[in-house]
Structure 1
C-alpha cells in the first residue's frame, strides 16, 4: 500500500512539473504565477528535481523568462532536442502528428498566443517533451536547433521540434516558416504540415500553411514532397502512410492539393517578394485587394473587411512595413481611391471612394 501511495504522489509531482514547464514556455506569466512557482519549488526537493529533468529537455530555448531562472543552470549541461522513441500515430490528418505512448498523461492546457490547446506530454523516468516554439501576431522569431539548422518563424506561427539520433522532425501546426537545414545524410529533416511532409537533407525552403494546404517554396537545393494519407486498421488505430508526390528544386514552388503536388517555377523576383517578411516588409506587385487584405491581416489583430465587392479584384502594388498597417491604409486612400472607415477601434471597412 505504501508503494502505491508513493507512486501516485510521484506521478502527481511529475504532472505538476510538466504543467509548470508548459506555462513557463507559453510566456503567460504573471507576478502571482512567479510567487506560486517559487513556493512550489521550495515545497519539496522532489519538485526541484522534476523541474530540472524537464529543464534539460527545454534547454535549447530562451523562451523561459524570469520564472525559469531556477532551472536554467540545470538545462545548460543537456542542451539537446529530443524526440520520443515511439512510433507516430496521427490524431487528425497531417495537421498535428502527436506522439501517443503508453503511460502518457494529459497535463492541462498549453496556451499558444491566447488559444487553449491541450498537448500530450509523456512523464516517466525518461522524460521526453516536444519543444514548442510559437510567435504572436505581428512577431517573428529565429530558432537555432542543436544540429545547427535554423528555423525563422513568421507571424502567428506554431511549430513542434523533435530530434533523435536518426531523424529530425518538425511539425508546422500553423503559420509560415523558413527552414535552413544543415546537411546530414544520416538524419533526414522532415517537416509535417497539413496533409503533407517535406523531406530534406541540406537545403533552404519556405512552408506556409494556408487553411491546411501546404504551400512550399524552395530557394536552395531540392526537397522531396509527399502526401500523408491516414490508414485505419481493424482495431481503429490510425497511422500515417506517406506517398511521394514530387521533387521540388530550387526556384520552384509547390502546393499539395488533394494529395497531389502542383509544382511550378518561380522567378527570383517573386521569391524575394514571398520572403520579404524576413526583412519586415510586405511586397505586392499586382495582387488583388482581397489577397493583400488576407496577407496584411496576418500581421495585425485588426478585423479588416472589404465592404464593396467592386474593389475585391482591384490590383495593388507597393512595399509596406509589416508593423505599419496605417501606411497601407493611407496608400489605399491616396493612390487607389479606396475609402478606409473605422466603425470601431478594432474594425476597418474598405469601400470604393465615390468622392461624395
Structure 2
C-alpha cells in the first residue's frame, strides 16, 4: 500500500493538530478572554475547523485526558509565575503544552492497556502480547493457536478438559476423547466438542464461534435460542452480550484464517475490524465517528501492517486515519 494512503491530507492534519492545540490552550487558560476570542475566530474561519474541534472533544473525552490536562495546567501555573513572559517564551511554553498533553494522552493509553494486562496475566496460563501469536500443545494432544493480545486459562482433570478464553481469540484443534469432553468458556458462551477444529473470538459486542471441521455444541446463559442444532463445518454463530444471536455459513477455512497473518472479513462492521486490528497495533485506535463504525466491510487485510489495513478500511468509506502519536490513531470522516 502506498504512503499516500497512510498519510491524511495535509489540511485535515493541520486542522487536527490545531484543534488539539486549542483544546489544551482553553484548558490551560479557561478565563482568558483573549484566548477565547482567538479560538472563536479560528473556529468560525473554516468548516474543517468545526469538524476538527468536534472530533477533538470526542477523542479527549474518550481518552479521559481532560482531567489529566487540568492537573498538568495547575502544575504549570506555579512554574509559569517564575518563568519569562516574553512572546518567545510564551510560544515555547505553548508548544510545550501541546507536547506534554499528547504525551499524557499516550501515557493514559499505555496505562489502561498495562492495567488490563496485569489482571489477565494473573489469571492466565498462556497469553500473547500485541501482534504476537502462539501455538500451544496440550497434554491430551490437542493444539491451541492463540491469537494476538489474547489469554487463556486451562483446567484439565480425568473427567473434563476445560479452557477459559479470557480475552482475544483462539483456534482449537481438539483430539477426540469421548470420556473427556473439551469445553471452551468465553464470557457468556460455552462451546463443547469431542473432536473438531474451531475458532472462538471475544469482542466488545460479544462472542463469535466458527467451525472449520467437525461439530460443536454452543450454549449461552444470555441466549437460550443458541442451544439448537450443533454447528458443523462452515457454520458460525455470534452472540451479543445482550443475547442477540446471529448465524451464518462461510467457507470452512475462513475459521481461524488469521493464523496466516491475514484478516479475512465478510460483511462486518468497521468497528469490529478496527477492534481486530487493534490487537496488532501497539497503541489505541479510536473511531471518532459512530456512523463510520457501523459501516460494513468485506476484504482481506495484512495483520502485519495494522495502520495500513486500517487506512484501507477507512478510505473505502471516505474516512481518514490520523496518527496523533505512535500510540494513538484516530479514524474520522474529515
The two structures have a TM-score, normalised by structure 2, of 0.56
What's the counterpart of residue 281 of structure 1?
Answer: 262
CA contact (8 A) 1:205 1:216 kept: yes
CA contact (8 A) 2:198 2:255 kept: no
Offset, 1:175: 1.3
What's the counterpart of residue 141 of structure 1?
Answer: 134
- The question of 1:266 aligning with 2:252 is answered no
Deviations 1:81-102 (A, max 9, x none): xxxxxxxxxxxxxxxxxxxxxx
4+ residue runs over 6 A deviation: 258-261
CA contact (8 A) 1:245 1:260 kept: no
| 1:272-311 alignment runs, 5 A limit | 272-273=253-254, 275-309=256-290, 311=292
Decide whether aligned partners of structure 1 residues 160 and 315 sit closer, same or farther in structure 2, where only a CA change above 3 A counts: closer
Greater shift in the superposed pair: 111-120 or 342-351: 111-120
Decide whether aligned partners of structure 1 residues 252 and 332 sit closer, same or farther in structure 2, where only a CA change above 3 A counts: closer
Structure whose residues are more often strand by fraction: 1
What's the counterpart of residue 150 of structure 2?
Answer: 157
- The question of 1:175 aligning with 2:168 is answered yes
Distance across 2 between alignment mates of 1:153 and 1:112: 21
Decide whether aligned partners of structure 1 residues 274 and 302 sit closer, same or farther in structure 2, where only a CA change above 3 A counts: farther
Offset, 1:308: 4.1
For residue 328 of structure 1, give the secondary structure of its aligned residue in structure 2.
helix
CA contact (8 A) 1:283 1:319 kept: yes
- The question of 1:252 aligning with 2:255 is answered no
Structure whose residues are more often helix by fraction: 2
| 1:63-82 alignment runs, 5 A limit | none
Unaligned runs of 5+ in 2: 1-113
Offset, 1:183: 0.9
1:191 to 184, 191, 197: 184
Distance across 1 between alignment mates of 2:133 and 2:121: 23
Aligned residues: 219
Offset, 1:286: 4.7
Distance across 1 between alignment mates of 2:274 and 2:226: 34
Distance across 1 between alignment mates of 2:150 and 2:314: 31
CA contact (8 A) 1:195 1:259 kept: no
Distance across 1 between alignment mates of 2:254 and 2:213: 16
Decide whether aligned partners of structure 1 residues 334 and 188 sit closer, same or farther in structure 2, where only a CA change above 3 A counts: closer
What's the counterpart of residue 64 of structure 1?
Answer: none
Offset, 1:319: 2.2
Decide whether aligned partners of structure 1 residues 309 and 206 sit closer, same or farther in structure 2, where only a CA change above 3 A counts: closer
- The question of 1:324 aligning with 2:290 is answered no
Distance across 2 between alignment mates of 1:328 and 1:113: 25
Offset, 1:260: 6.3
What's the counterpart of residue 327 of structure 2?
Answer: 346
Deviations 1:172-200 (A, max 9, x none): 11111111111111111111221232111
The two structures have a TM-score, normalised by structure 1, of 0.53
